[in-house]
Structure 1
Amino acid sequence: MNLGILAGIFPSGRPNTRNSGSTPAPKGVNGLRLACWNVRTMLDSTDSNHPQRRSALVAHELSRLNVDIAALSEVRFPEVGSLKEQGAGYTLFWSGKPQSERRLSGVGFMIQNTIAAKLENLPTGHSDRIMSMRLPLRKKQYITLFSVYAPTLQADPADKDKFYSDLRNLVRSTPADDKVIILGDFNARVGRDSEAWKGVLGKHGVGNCNDNGRLLLEFCTEMQLTITNTIFQQRNRLKTTWMHPRSRHWHLLDYILVRQRDLGDVLHTRVMPSAECHTDHRLVRCKLNVHFKPKPKLGGPPRKKLHVDSLKSDKVRADLQSNLQSKLEGSDCATDTCPETLWAQLKTVILKSSEEVLGFTTKKNKDWFDENDSEIQQLLAKKRTAHQAHLAQPSCPIKKAVFRSACSHLQRKLRTIQNRWWTSLAEKTQLCADNGDHRGFYEALKAVYGPTHQLVAPLRSTDGQSLLTDKASILNRWSEHFQTLFSVNRTVDNSALQRIHQQPLKEELDLLPSLEEVIKAVDQQKSGKAAGVDGIPPEVWKHGGVALHSKLHELLVHCWEQGKLPQDLRDAVIITLYKNKGEKADCSNYRGITLLSIAGKILARVLLNRLVPAVAVHHLPESQCGFRANRGTTDMVFVLRQLQEKCREQNKGLYITFVDLSKAFDTVSRKGLWEILERLGCPPKFLNMVIQLHEQQRGQVRSSNDLSEHFPVSNGVKQGCVLAPTLFTIFFSMMLQQATEDLGDEDGIYIRYRTDGSLFNLRRLQAHTKTLEQLIRELLFADDAALVAHTEPAMQRVTSCFAEAAKLFGLEVSLKKTEVLHQPAPQEAYRTPYITIGETELKAVQQFTYLGSTISSDARIDKEVDNRLAKANSAFGRLYRRVWSSKHLKKGTKVSVYRAVVLTTLLYGSESWVTYRQHLRLLERFHQRCLRSILNIHWSDYVTNVEVLERAEITSIEAMLMKTQLRWAGHVSRMEDHRLPKIILYGELSTGHRNRGAPKKRFKDTLKKSLQCCNIDYHQWSALAADRGTWRHTVHQAVSSFDKNRRTDLQEKRSRRKNRTVTAPNPESSFPCSRCGRVCRSRIGLVSHQRACTSGLNP
């Protein structure tokens, strides 16, 4: 490397030629080469025939390979020290065990002398397994390097816990601005499951994952690190670092880890097979081009927003209502005034009154101190008064005591307010998770993770050749992108429309909206939503009083009668959110969030409340669970897992095609949608109001608090509107109806079911006169479709009909993202499915993430558990600085947040899991590690797992799973008989046979065992579950009793293990070999000897 040490150590790099455009690449360090190597030992034996010292040999190899800094493992030198190899030009720093102890570990850094001479601080040894150094690069820019050597697979679990606990603490104590690189021998195999460990593991791993590998993956996920060895595609010889001495298989055990945000600095990571220092490990070298990003520029000055938080006060609400009433009564509007004028007058009054009463706030992000601002300001005022009095008379002891008391009181109250806010937020998050309120859950999560700042990022031009950096160009580029997206012209084939039967007109939909309907729609608006183009937030409408609601009702009646809408009620403001994948300069890697006028949303809610009972419920199939009451993603995931389970049990194959529609909501043909609604019986005035909300709609993009020019939005359902999901599902249902018209009875899966009788008695299904059959071809959640069939030809017909119908209705199937999964019958070998759409063969996969759950072709949940663990580790790591390490939050508050955020992430979709002991062990280990971190319990405290649960006042994962599945089973049993989850649970396949003997573990087996463990009669459980409140109370009491008994059993088992007496071996025992007469001291020794003994055997 070209060393020339200036303010730091390395020279500023050349501009990066890979970045084209007007913005030069940030300066950095070119060609930094780091390496990790397990050298097995640096000690020189007296009888060694090596021509030079081990340290000199290693230094010369590093020099030959042009390595700047190498992290060495198994150095085995005692204590802490350094050794300079002047000839090779390197200095060795090491950290090991004391001289008196046996040394099988030890770590160190071997650094080029020119670099070592310029270090601000020498490398620090933390233990015989971890050493760190801080490498200065330029003005206050550093890289923190860690050289590590992890315990082996056979090591004591306590040693592994200590190693990763120490490493976590050291990484967390590293300055946030530092680049972090961890190098060394982790004695771990991480495998190749890049889907489960996204962001941590690349697509080019080696082999399978072991227990040590899982520990490393969990650590990387929590610390947001990436394993660079798995990023680059290359031969296995350039990836594997160690060969097993018996199996002779090569494995990857030595890794180089970097922070995920700095992955772009890594040019290449590979093994250097030519490196030689009489060790059985290969050297891993990483080339970096370190870049220093300039300080990010935040957006422009914040927009003024109404201070709606003050409406929590009764007095402020009363003042707003009084102000609005006086201004609205003073404004006299003629009845023949057009809606645009009426709206302009009403908007002016609302904004003026709101500004007078509420005022403005410039804070963009809300936190606990924002929501309690008034209370905190009063406390600060008292402290400020006491401080001023103390400054006026500094020698007065009374004033000084009053000031100290005010400071203490302020600190106590702030901690109380903070704990109260976090507890309330945790309860809200948990409630949303329990009730399946995904929108509310993710909104609560945003508050939990804290405020974020939207940065101004450059964009690529339309041709992709240059980067746009000025605000005007970026704004125009966004406008151009969304105008192209929303102006795609799609049509529905006329023959497809003619096949939809004309329904009688539903005249009741044309009635004028009543005041009660408007007030109900206002109350249904959710607080905290951003305002649209008019700037009026939902809180003002909700707390504006009867006078405001009456004026809004009058406006909507005028609009209904005249068939016109104010333009504000149509228009949309679009803000962009990065999808966290792909290049940030590419517009297609952003998601557009549409902000609409709340008044328009109120009108849309009035229309929706009429449309759903009159039209939607009669035409939506039972297989559609998207945006429907009392249905959610859990229903579809449960049905799909049950289909897998029953096909495996009854020796039937299963084919699943996961269909992805390209931008389905944005490409719905509006003209075709209006004709469909007309054929389904929507009368003209009602239909006209729906059309008015969509037609002549304009959009604007907001970037850096600036707005682009208006552009037309001419296609798709209205994003952000409450009508959009229902309109789309109606459109999609009509398409699906035509897709299935040409399919035969053999195309799909028939379920024979009977919902009366005991769930665990299969003989009840043999009474064919009392059973029913249900055909299942598709599982839907909005535009997410999973098509199912038993055979490949049937799957081909279902897929082809679906694709043809989608084409007729103007929708496009994404051939790149549509994938096929095949689960063969138990006695059949796996065969790659060949399913096509047109002339394109669909990709065959072994696993697929469906509605957030990982579906595997073997019907097991191994990959799903890995996926949940990865996401839960990430959630736990993100909250470390904000929650877990906070000294101001009570432990009970921290546990509440952990339960609401981390455990909810971990156990998502667990209602349908069939768990084995190995899954529970992994989940319990993660649970214990998190609780010990929250409660600040170290491995050296020797606190049992039972005591950890008691201190946290929380149950085990096994008890949580049991409670979740029992409550879900009760929910399914209370469903109506035509619901798919109930049909599939109480039924079986109409065809297929069971093998003799016990089947593989099923959901009903897990359910039955849970009922027995909780002492609930499994013959009578459905009667108890009929009443929701009674069942929840019964389950809660029973699971609590089970967990209490479980803890008691674990404590008794531990006591027996501690009190167990070990019988000393009898020295007089002897075990002679019958072949050669050799006497062994143990039976196992005799068995081992006889394997190799050849005496007395015939030649």
Structure 2
Amino acid sequence: MKDLICVSYNVKGLNSPIKRKKVLNQLKNFKCSIAMLQETHLSEKEHRKLRREWVEQQYISTYQDGRKRGVAILFNRSTYFHHEKTFADREGRYEMVIGSVGGSKITLLNLYAPNEDCPQFFKNIASLIAEKSEGMILVGGDFNCTLKAAVDRLPAHNGPKSKKSCSLNTMIKELGLVDVWRQFHPQEKDFTFYSHIHRSHSRIDMFLMPRRDLYRARQCSIEATIISDHALVCLKLRMNPNNHFKYWRANVSILYNETRQELQKSLTEYIQFNDNNEVSPSILWESAKSYLRGNIIAVSSRLKKERLAEQTELENNIKKLEKVYQVTKDTGTLNSLKEQRQKLDDLLTYKVEGQLRYANQKYYQYGNRASRLLAFQLRKEQSSRVVHKIKCPNSRKIVCQPKEVAKAFSLYYQELYKEENVPNKIEKIEQFLNPINLCKLSQEEAELITNPINIEEIKNSIGKLKNKSPGVDGLPGEYYKFFEKELTPLLCKVYNYALFKGDPPQSWSEAIISVIHKESKDLTLCMSYRPISLLCVDLKILTAIIANRIQKHEKKKLVKPDQTGFISHRQGSDNVRRALNLQIMAQERDTSSMFLSLDAEKAFDRVDWDFLQQTLRHMGFNETFISWVQTLYKNPKSRVRINGNCSDFFSLGRGTRQGEVLSPSLFALSIKLLAELIRSNPLIQGIRDETNTQHKLSLFADDILLFLENLVTSVPALLSNLEDYGTVSGYKIKTNKSEALMIVGNWPT
């Protein structure tokens, strides 16, 4: 469908037929699709006069006690709007209309805020939006205050904000809204109203919409002030339906009632009937998850219908009892009415109970009802995860459409996770590793790590699960906790079959990548986001077991004390204290010295798998363990999910997935090689302590801090080591992001 042209316009009264005609003509000339008018000053009857010429539908809110206030939403005849609900203010301050345009659900809110410094108005508006809105939200109107007085007023006002402005800013933040005009004009100053009394310009008329829907906005402009004393604000929107990726996630609320026993019984019967050694444990496990998913969907659907019927019945009962009580004033009727209202309130609260478990939230100042609390929290969280524009890595153009944004990230990660073509790679890795003296596992220790997985380990791992987002199967950790008895024996069989036969369930190879913005990084660059792989919980349980086995040896034998991060019982603060002590010692010795902080480019995502496997061999891990790692990284593929859209799957050729606990341990072992290379290089001189012991570096995950003396020889030797390590491992330093601090002496030339 064609773009919608939306207009917000404070018309300052439409009682005059001539002015009314002028305004309608002005809107017609703009080819207005939807007009939000404020201060119409018309009665309900007089508002009908607006429904002429191009106006097909209108929705109004009037002030009952005189010719003032009043808001109206007008729809052009060419704009097919399917109306569903209306919420109007009795004081003529706002009108909310819910419906659909071109198949897309939309909520339109037209408001005229009080002139007085009344923060309660926006608190009420926030509650209205949180509780009633559906689909895309568009808020337009005269807000009678600015968001930022320093840029939205002339002369600029740098004093404290009004209470009303603070309330508006809080509402915008909590609901995840953005000022559309400011998004298009971040540095520009333009205004919609001139006050002759105060001799000041201000931008108090605006459009607000959720950040996640900002891609729909094509243009937003402030037009000339002509008929009214306010300027008209024009917004052009695209309303093409957006097919969001359907990400199924099991409803955990059904685990807290009688349906839990129903699911347990059916799952037990399914496993008993099908666990007959006719199919592989991996196939049986995948089919069992599909069977459980089908049962969950069926039970959830049935319960939803039952609760909806119960809700409808309670609402009808309340209406009947209210009418009876209005006539009889009977105490018994009043008690029955209170009882029915309480039942309805309990039912509505139960509907959001499950979702509330996922959010660590505090009560919002606008109210304490569970539904309102949840709505605020979810809107805020969704807004923080939205990427409304990104630079495509291929075309270098900024893209805004959700599908194009997801594709841009997909292209970036395809290149990032692509295996580098290094000639004679294995030979070069061996040449790199052989001179390095590594602490190794004994044969007995290596065999202990590769013992068969047992039921007790699975139970312990399930008990430590956190309620985080599940993978492609949609089954969160709660299901494994509730059905531990039924699932553990089969899981044990699946784990050992997959590890020792090299035949994992297909869902283990699939991941959904969710991105998290790195603070202070450019929002339009893919590299400014950290990828988190959403993996299936059954895989997380297994990797936690294997990681726990490795970590028993990491601290004692494999990893030295100056390496922290993902090493149990080691704190990053230990290295901070060490660095401060070395700074003092270097200053006391008065020798040329420097601290050098290395910033690696996507360190976790660039780990070469061949290098990792050869490293594990040189550390004493046996071939059985190597095959386990190969099984866990067998034919991996991922897709990027962002803004509700998902890219196509793409294959991975390197990297450790940041979504389970084994990968950080494997990364710690791979980065240890660089640390050993630096420690053993006599040309790299570290800062010495009072015992004349050299301290060359400290590590926290992928962050490396070097302590250097004799910089003329140390720095070139260090750069040579970094190049050698990067060639075989994929490790790459960002020289423009790495930082150096001279402790004593001048910068080397």
Please give the range of the TM-score, normalised by the shorter of the 2 chains: 0.5 to 0.7
1:472/1:139 Cα in 2 relative to 1: closer, same or farther (>3 Å)? Answer: closer
The separation in 2 between residues aligned to 1:552 and 1:511, in whole angstroms, is 16
1:498 aligned to which of 434, 437, 461: 434
Q: Tell me the alpha carbon deviations over residues 726-758 of structure 1, each in whole angstroms, 9 at most, x when there is no partner.
A: 0001000112101221136852242x4xxxxxx
Equivalent residue in structure 2 for 1:334, among 267, 272, 277: 277
Bigger relative contact order (CA 8 A; separation at least 6):
2
The corresponding residue for 1:395 is 327
**Equivalent of 2:460 in 520, 528, 538:** 520
**2:652 counterpart (702, 713, 724):** 713
Distance verdict in 2 for CA 1:329–1:464, change over 3 Å: same
Residue 738 of structure 2 is aligned with which of 818, 825, 832?
818
Equivalence for 1:58: none
Q: In the TM superposition, what are the counterparts of 1:398-413 in structure 2 within 5 Å?
A: 398=330, 401-402=334-335, 405=338
The CA deviation at 1:259 is: 8.2
TM-score (norm 2): 0.61
Alpha-carbon shift at residue 665 of structure 1 (Å): 0.9
Contact 1:328 1:349 in 2 (8 A): no
1:805 to 1:378, Cα distance in 2 relative to 1, 3 A: farther
Please give the alpha-carbon distance, in whole angstroms, between the structure 1 residues aligned to 2:584 and 2:596: 17
CA displacement at 1:712 relative to structure 2: 1.2
Q: Match for residue 781 of structure 1?
A: 700
Q: Which of 627, 633, 649 is the equivalent residue of 1:688? A: 627
Q: Is the 8 A contact 2:249 2:475 kept in 1?
A: no
Matched, 1:480 2:481: no
Q: Which residue of 1 aligns with 2:541?
A: 602
Q: Distance in 2 between matches of 1:741 and 1:623?
A: 14
Query: Are the structure 2 counterparts of residues 795 and 405 from structure 1 closer, same or farther at C-alpha, using a change threshold of 3 Å?
Result: farther
* Amino acid across the alignment from 1:401: L
SS state of the match for residue 522, structure 1?
A: helix
Say whether residues 1:538 and 2:448 are aligned partners.
no
Q: Any gaps of 5 or more consecutive residues in structure 2?
A: 1-6, 12-22, 28-110, 118-138, 151-157, 190-219, 223-233, 363-375
Distance 1:260 1:783 in 2: 39
Q: How does 1:505-654 map to 2 (within 5 A)?
A: 505=443, 506-527=446-467, 529-579=468-518, 586-614=525-553, 617-644=556-583
The 3-state SS of whatever aligns with 1:493 is helix
Deviations 1:395-434 (A, max 9, x none): 122356326745996899999999x9999999999xxxxx
Alpha-carbon distance in 1 for matches of 2:656, 2:148:
55
Who is 1:310 aligned against?
254
In structure 2, relative to structure 1, the CA distance for the partners of 1:729 and 1:465 (3 Å cut) is closer
The structure with more radius of gyration: 1
CA gap 1:340/1:653 in 2 versus in 1, 3 angstroms: same
Counterpart code for 1:311:
L
| 1:348 paired residue number | 290
Q: Distance in 1 between matches of 2:567 and 2:324?
A: 66
Contact 1:748-1:776 within 8 A present in 2 as well: yes
Cα distance change of structure 1 residues 585 and 450 upon mapping to structure 2, 3 Å threshold: closer
Distance 1:511 1:819, change over 3 A: same
Q: How far, CA to CA, are the matches of 1:481 and 1:147 in structure 2?
A: 36
Matching residue's letter, 1:496: F
**Cα distance in 1 for residues equivalent to 2:360 and 2:391:** 43
- Given that 2:686 and 2:694 are in contact with CA atoms closer than 8 Å, whether structure 1 keeps it comes out as no
Q: How many residues align?
A: 558
Give the Cα–Cα distance (whole angstroms) in 2 for the partners of residues 610 and 731 of structure 1. 17
Q: Which residue of 1 aligns with 2:163?
A: 169
1:543-942 matches, cutoff 5 A: 543-579=482-518, 586-614=525-553, 617-644=556-583, 655-703=594-642, 705-743=644-682, 746-750=685-689, 752=690, 775-789=694-708, 792-793=711-712, 796=715, 799-800=718-719, 803-808=722-727, 809-824=729-744, 833-834=747-748
Q: Could you say if the C-alpha distance between residues 147 and 485 of structure 1 is closer, same or farther in structure 2, counting changes exceeding 3 Å?
A: closer
- The one-character-per-residue Cα deviations of 1:652-706 (angstroms, maximum 9, x if unpaired) are 7752211011111111110011011112121222220111111311222335655
Q: RMSD value over aligned CA atoms?
A: 5.3
User: What SS is found at the alignment partner of 1:395?
Assistant: helix
Counterpart code for 1:519? K
Say whether the 8 Å CA contact 1:459–1:584 is kept in structure 2: yes
What is the identity, as a one-letter code, of the residue corresponding to 2:747? P
Question: Take 2:261 and 2:453, find their aligned partners in 1: how far apart are those partners?
Answer: 27
Per the normalisation by structure 1, the TM-score is 0.43
> How far apart, CA to CA, are the structure 2 residues paired with 1:749 and 1:708?
52
Report if the CA contact (8 A) 1:306-1:360 is conserved: no
8 Å CA contact retained: 1:510, 1:685: yes
- Please give the per-residue CA displacement for 1:785-806, whole angstroms capped at 9, x wherever unaligned: 1112356447636743552453
Answer yes or no: is 1:320 the counterpart of 2:263. Answer: yes
Aligned partners of 1:293 and 1:142: how far apart in 2? 20
Relative distance call for 1:746 and 1:669 in structure 2 (3 A) is closer
Q: Distance in 2 between matches of 1:616 and 1:555?
A: 30
Per-residue deviation, 1:565? 1.5
Q: CA 1:289–1:794 in 2, change beyond 3 Å: closer, same or farther?
A: farther
Write the letter of the residue equivalent to 1:341.
I
Alignment of 1:258-277 (within 5 A): 262=182, 265-267=185-187
Larger mean CA deviation between 338-347 and 687-696 belongs to 338-347
Kindly provide the amino acid, as one letter, of the partner of residue 800 in structure 1: L
What is the one-letter code of the residue matched to 1:394? Answer: Q
Shift of 1:832: 6.1
Instruction: Quickly say closer, same or farther: Cα 1:480–1:421, change in 2 above 3 A.
Output: closer
In the alignment, the residues of structure 1 paired with residue 645 and residue 303 of structure 2 have an alpha-carbon distance, to the nearest angstrom, of: 18
Instruction: Give me the whole-angstrom Cα distance separating, in 2, the residues matched to 1:340 and 1:557.
Output: 10
User: Deviation per CA, 1:31-83, whole angstroms, max 9, x where unpaired?
Assistant: xxxxxxxxxxxxxxxxxxxxxxxxxxxxxxxxxxxxxxxxxxxxxxxxxxxxx
Could you tell me how far 1:543 is from its partner in structure 2? 1.5
Letter in 2 for 1:549: T
Paired AA for residue 253 in structure 2: D
1:640 Cα offset (Å)? 3.4
Where 2:327 maps in the other structure, the secondary structure is coil
Going from structure 1 to structure 2, the CA distance change for 1:536 and 1:259 (only over 3 Å counts) comes to closer
Contact 1:660 1:785 in 2 (8 A): yes
1:626–1:389 distance in 2 versus 1, CA, 3 Å: same
Q: 2:685–2:696: 8 Å Cα contact kept in structure 1?
A: no
**Which residue identity does 1:781 align to in structure 2?**
F
Q: Which residue of 2 aligns with 1:300?
A: 244
Question: For the residues of structure 1 that align with 2:342 and 2:573, how far apart are their CA atoms?
Answer: 48
Conserved? CA contact 1:661–1:783, under 8 Å: yes
- Aligned-pair CA distance for 1:718: 2.7
Do the aligned partners of 2:555 and 2:568 also contact (CA within 8 Å) in 1? no
Are the structure 2 counterparts of residues 463 and 450 from structure 1 closer, same or farther at C-alpha, using a change threshold of 3 Å?
closer
Give the counterpart letter for 1:508 in structure 2.
L
Q: Is the 8 A contact 1:509 1:683 kept in 2?
A: no
